[in-house]
Structure 1
Amino acid sequence: MQATQTISEGLKREFKVVVPAAELEDKLSSQLSGLKDKVRINGFRPGKVPLSHLRRLYGRSVMVDVVQNTVNEANQQIVSDNQFRLAMEPKVSLPEAREDIEAVMEAKADLAYTVALEVLPSFELADLSSVEVTREVAEVSDAELDEALTRMAKQNRSFTARDEGAAAEAGDRVTIDFVGKIDGEPFEGGTGQDIPVEIGSGSFIPGFEEQLIGAKAGDERVVKATFPDDYNAAQLAGKAAEFDVTVKAIEVPGELKIDDDLGKAFGMENLEALRNAVRDRVGVDFTAQSRRKLKRQLLDQLDKLYTFDLPPTLVQQEFDGVWQGVVGEMTRAKRSFADEGTTEEEATAEYRRISERRVRLGLVLAEIGDKADIKVNDDEITRALVERARQFPGQEKMVWEFYQKNPEALAEVRAPIFEEKVVDHLLTQAKVTDKPVSKEELFTDEEEKEGAKA
């Protein structure tokens, strides 16, 4: 086998590979000889079938394997000899002319093909001792606990029917049927039956619930309301609608009690136990948000420390995935780039920058993890799989088997675990300063802060 490099541009490499016909013939003969003791052919004793006869029967199918294995071995040798770290699987271009292919399959001509490679960039890991990040820390206040317990008490309280003929008041639960219309025409998703509406809960669009005050069971009303400009269904955002409403029942809420009985209703021994459990649950949410913001800071600074060429195919694959999601979401929401205050060209450039950042940071984190010998063990993978399987009640076994049988899917489970362990490692090298903040500040993104300043 002879491999000659023909292209070396950035991270792209290309080789012309020539495997002599004699080498193919030797491999074919060796493979056919191995078949002698395995095949049973009428008229011949086991192991006595002439090679010429085996060649007529199996030569072409065996040569397909010979060519495939030869190409794989040649590519592996190129990678090994040049100490390449591949970004993608090699792209092989075999002869296309029929006569050339036939000659190779009969071992009468050399196998000549090209193989294109993309290699990973080489870069030195930066010193992180100068990196400074701020970890926002928020305490769970008594007021927040009281608010959470009040919400739970509201969810747990009972409702009883109002006296016959009584009118609905704020706080009552009204059961209704409705048909929504825009410009006199019903719209998709605008119809409901036996829908409970708690007046004042804010669960419906602004202005809807208040118009039910004073209604009685059996009443029919036309409720007029306007969808918010940022409504999640873009086709309805900002539009005025009318709802033909039929009131079917009116219920008055029971007394709001925050006591030991509330704790017991949620499986706790008493109110104090429930309070502690809520504090822990809210604390987990606070810690997770603090971690997200800290990680974003770290990755932002990490991104600034590295500049190197990126494998173009990796970037394109990342962009294709991101762009498909963006376009799909806009299609479902029936929105255009103009609705988003941009153009397709500007959006394309922005999402390509995002894709390049993701690939760059992915390569940096992988290199850091490799140098630090960070591993993801089987127990960590198992815990992640169990958690993922729990998201599909009744299908746990099927989910488990899917990941066990699909290495690529299993790699998707491993990747975020590995990334978090690398981030933990990086945080031991950077200077981390804790900053006490309020709940509101903790859950405000940096983009929102910048927008508020502007």
Structure 2
Amino acid sequence: MQVTETQNDGLKRSYAITVTADELDAKVNEKLKEAQPEVEMKGFRKGKVPMALLKKQFGQRLLGESMQETIDGAMNQHFEDTGDRPAQQPEVKMTNEDWKEGDDVEVQMSYEKLPEVPEIDASKISVEKLVVKADDAAVDEALTSLAENAQNFEDREEGAAAENGDQVTIDFVGKVDGEAFEGGSAEDYPLVLGSDSFIPGFEEQLVGVKVGDEKTVEVNFPEEYGAENLAGKAAEFDVTVKAVKAPAKAEIDDELATKYGAEDLDALKTQIRERLESEYAGAARQVMKRAVLDALDEMVSFDLPPSLVEAEAKQIAHQLYHEEHPEDHGHDHGEIEPTEEHQKLAERRVRLGLLLADLGQKSEIEVTDAEMTQAIMAQARQYPGQERQFFDFVRQNPQMQQQLRAPIFEDKVIDQITENAEVTEKEITREELQKAVEELDDE
């Protein structure tokens, strides 16, 4: 076997690999010899079939397998000898397309190698750790919000009409084509008008009803409705109104606290303060993380694999296009050409990604199974009732696992860097923190 370098330009590498016919033949013979003791063929005892007959019978089939194994072996040996790490899967193609059995196999392997990442001295990084205390005003604001969410409903005066935001207690029977359908009926159902918890158009038709009213509500099930037998169909609901109640804001007292699982109001305030300061700390961490990444970006400079930068730039352009055109849900908009700004952002992301990966590898940083499970469960909560299915989907999808693992790994590397960096605490207001976070989005 012969491996000859044909390109060495920056990070681009190409090699011509020649596998001789004799090598392939030897590989085929080796496989046949391994299999011979187990082969049975009419007219021969087990393990006694002549090699010539085995080769005639199975040689053609084993030739392609031997060719692939030999080329893969040559590639693996090359990367082991050179220490090169390909940025993406190497491109491999046969160059003698008119190949026939008995010829040498000529293959071209091309790839971009990952660059050598320079060492960094984290002690030279200086960043601020923003600290925000939850003041009484913030706690009171949160309490008011909790009270609004925990609102009660009190009967309106006799004969009063229901308004948007009121809670009506109703009995209803739903019908399609005059026939009641399964799951379309209920008694004493409390419905808050304007909550959009029913089919579009249903709640609006109950604004103005009074206790004792009987009303037929006519609606159309959405085309994308979950139950196929109802999707897109017209329906009628016979509704009887049994109560009309107006929203009443809950009092901020010990009773409110117990509704949220706290022992009393003081305990609830303590929980709120801790939660707010945890949220502030999370936001402040994002600001510090950006500062660390900015510092790293200024500290290092090295060649980047063009293919990685190009792929990242296209992804950025595609993502920003959909953010600017939320009405376009498809992907038939044609190729979106990255701008110079997209290109610069892609270069930064690739450079920092390679740097963090190198730092993490050298420090033997790993994402544990427990951390992955926690991340999967956090994502699964976005799919109520389907958590188990989502969990199984991720477990069977390596690409999805990598999407969840990458940010955890990155955060752990950033944490290690900040442990060795010069970090100065700075106490600020929540308004100043909010402004700092907004500036992250603007960059």
- Fold match by TM threshold 0.5: yes
Corresponding residue for residue 65 of structure 2 = 65
Pairing partner for 1:365 from 350, 356, 367: 356
Mapping of residues 173-322 of structure 1, within 5 Å = 173=166, 196-197=193-194, 251-254=245-248, 256-322=250-316
C-alpha change, 1:77 and 1:137, in structure 2 (3 Å) is same
C-alpha change, 1:85 and 1:450, in structure 2 (3 Å) is closer
* TM-score relative to the length of structure 1: 0.74
Aligned pair count?
A: 373
Deviations 1:307-340 (A, max 9, x none): 11111122222233333323344443359xxxxx
Letter in 2 for 1:69: E
Corresponding residue for residue 74 of structure 2 = 74
Q: Could you tell me how far apart the structure 2 residues matched to 1:273 and 1:301 are?
A: 42
Corresponding residue for residue 129 of structure 1 = 123
Q: Could you tell me how far apart the structure 2 residues matched to 1:276 and 1:167 are?
A: 41
Q: Could you tell me how far apart the structure 2 residues matched to 1:430 and 1:31 are?
A: 57
Corresponding residue for residue 227 of structure 1 = none
Deviation at 1:387, TM superposition (A): 3.6
C-alpha change, 1:13 and 1:333, in structure 2 (3 Å) is same
Pairing partner for 2:413 from 417, 422, 431: 422
Q: Could you tell me how far apart the structure 2 residues matched to 1:90 and 1:301 are?
A: 33
Letter in 1 for 2:369: D
1:410 aligns with 2:401: yes
Corresponding residue for residue 55 of structure 2 = 55
Corresponding residue for residue 343 of structure 2 = 352
Corresponding residue for residue 151 of structure 1 = 145
Deviations 1:85-116 (A, max 9, x none): 2212221011462x31xx2xx3x111111100
Mapping of residues 372-451 of structure 1, within 5 Å = 372-445=363-436, 448=439
Mapping of residues 14-33 of structure 1, within 5 Å = 14-33=14-33
Q: Could you tell me how far apart the structure 1 residues matched to 2:380 and 2:246 are?
A: 41
Deviation at 1:294, TM superposition (A): 0.6
Corresponding residue for residue 118 of structure 1 = 112
C-alpha change, 1:264 and 1:85, in structure 2 (3 Å) is same
Deviation at 1:273, TM superposition (A): 2.0
Q: Could you tell me how far apart the structure 1 residues matched to 2:354 and 2:148 are?
A: 49
CA contact (8 A) 1:172 1:251 kept: no
For 1:115, what is the secondary structure of its paired residue? Answer: strand
CA contact (8 A) 1:376 1:414 kept: yes
Bigger CA drift: 384-393 or 143-152? Answer: 384-393
For 1:434, what is the secondary structure of its paired residue? Answer: strand
Deviations 1:197-226 (A, max 9, x none): 59xxxxxxxxxxxxx9xx9658xxxxxxxx
Q: Could you tell me how far apart the structure 1 residues matched to 2:75 and 2:266 are?
A: 67
Deviation at 1:408, TM superposition (A): 3.9
For 2:326, what is the secondary structure of its paired residue? Answer: helix
Corresponding residue for residue 188 of structure 2 = none
C-alpha change, 1:35 and 1:424, in structure 2 (3 Å) is same
C-alpha change, 1:438 and 1:76, in structure 2 (3 Å) is same
For 2:84, what is the secondary structure of its paired residue? Answer: coil
Deviation at 1:379, TM superposition (A): 3.3
Letter in 1 for 2:427: P
CA contact (8 A) 2:250 2:256 kept: no
- Aligned-pair identity in percent equals 36
Deviation at 1:390, TM superposition (A): 4.4
Q: Could you tell me how far apart the structure 2 residues matched to 1:61 and 1:273 are?
A: 75
* TM-score relative to the length of structure 2: 0.76
Corresponding residue for residue 224 of structure 2 = none
